[in-house]
């Protein structure tokens, strides 16, 4: 579906090749519908499917996951699934740094 006007600001939409990256890994160039006024980028359904396919072949699909908070003694435990741990090259005993970005986001630096 092609849009002619931006839903955000009403600006003119043009087609442009843009670099798309996911989790810091480039997936390549894709045709996006870009607003000339606010820069909002949007992909049509076909392009979104292509992006999903590339993400899957690069093992970047489904890395976001839900996790339940557990408790061990005085500490809280958040489990990281195997797929995500492998993506981050986490090893047992490795030290990571935790910091809140705001009241609803936790950053884990590996
Ligand atoms: Zn716009």
Residue 96 C-alpha to ligand 1 middle, in angstroms?
A: 39
Identify which of 74, 18, 7 has the alpha carbon closest to the alpha carbon of residue 43.
18
pLDDT of residue 100: 97
Report the share of the chain in percent with pLDDT over 70.
98
| CB-CB contact of 36 with 12 (8 Å) | yes
Report the share of the chain in percent with pLDDT over 90.
83
pLDDT of residue 15: 95
Q: What is the mean pLDDT of residues 27-52?
A: 95
What residues flank ion ligand 1 with Cβ within 5 A? 6, 8-9, 11, 35, 37-38, 40
pLDDT tens sequence across 50-100: 999 999 999 898 898 899 999 999 999 999 999 899 989 999 999 999 999
Give the bridge partners for 29, in sequence order. Answer: 19
Q: How far apart are CA 69 and CA 79, in angstroms?
A: 8
Residue 46 C-alpha to ligand 1 middle, in angstroms?
A: 22
Residue 73 C-alpha to ligand 1 middle, in angstroms?
A: 51
Q: How far apart are CA 92 and CA 95, in angstroms?
A: 9
The reported pTM is 0.69
Residue 14 C-alpha to ligand 1 middle, in angstroms?
A: 11
Residue 1 has pLDDT above 60, yes or no: no
Give the bridge partners for 81, in sequence order. Answer: none
Q: How far apart are CA 83 and CA 48, in angstroms?
A: 23
| Residue 99 exposure: Cα atoms within 13 Å on the Cβ side | 4
């Amino acid at each position: 579906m092609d849009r002619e006007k931006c839903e955000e600001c009403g600006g003119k939409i043009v087609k442009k090749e843009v670099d798309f990256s996911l989790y810091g890994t480039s997936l390549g160039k894709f045709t996006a519908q870009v607003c000339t006024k606010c820069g909002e980028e949007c992909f049509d359904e076909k392009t979104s499917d292509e992006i999903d396919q590339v993400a899957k072949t690069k093992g970047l699909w489904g890395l976001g996951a839900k996790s339940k908070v557990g408790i061990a003694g005085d500490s809280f435990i958040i489990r990281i699934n195997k797929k995500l741990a492998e993506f981050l090259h986490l090893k047992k005993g490795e030290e990571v740094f935790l910091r809140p970005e705001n009241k609803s986001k936790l950053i884990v630096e590996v």
